[in-house]
Amino acid sequence: MRLDNISDITNVASRTNFSIFELPQETNFSEIFEKSYHVTTDTDKNVISIENIRNISELCNNKQSENMFIVVENAEKMTSNAANAFLKALEEPREKVHFVFLTKNASAILPTIKSRANNYYIADKSKINEPPTVDEKILALTKEYVTAAPKDLPQIVDKIIKFNKDDARGTAIATVECGITLMYKSYLIQGNKQFLLKLQKLISAQEALAQNGHVKLQLIANML
């Protein structure tokens, strides 16, 4: 969903347990929620590791009388272990505790994180309308795939598999990942929760394909 001003972030974030904000490149994250608990990247590795967020569980367990914001700067730089640890904290939301992810590249945040958040972007400077950076033929296949009626899925999936017979799984994964980006951006622009439902289906397909699930079966079954 779109916001017109960065000044709206505090009010918006206070109304939800977990939110992601994609902000303009020139934004100084440290100036947002200045009096809140901030998680930042390691100085030497330039990532957010699990060590950076070990204090969060303890913070969440403390009863809050006023809104507390736990702010993750450059959230796209979280490692998988850090992201999984955050997901555990989100499973039991605490009253008046608000998780806020700030990023300049929301498409790089793990889909499992994005699907659990309220997603926002600053309308006038965001790159949200730019198409995914993939081969044009993959983009065309993706658009067919994500908009297909159930009866048309087998035919479209066959086209995906035949696109590169030597690497059908790679093509399938690229198509699904492109679909995830399209659905995420479509939701941000329009705020229609139907895009979130399709996003979750694509995430399930992505996970199944990554675990060597049958390519054609997973491409069809997860989108029904």
pLDDT score at 128: 67
53 secondary structure, DSSP code: G
Structure tokens at 198: 């399709």
Which pLDDT score is estimated for 6? 86
Does residue 64 have a pLDDT over 80?
A: no
Nearest to 122 by CA among 1, 37, 39, 31: 1
pTM: 0.60
On average, the pLDDT of the chain sits at 87
What is the rounded distance in angstroms from the CA atom of residue 113 to the CA atom of residue 39? 16
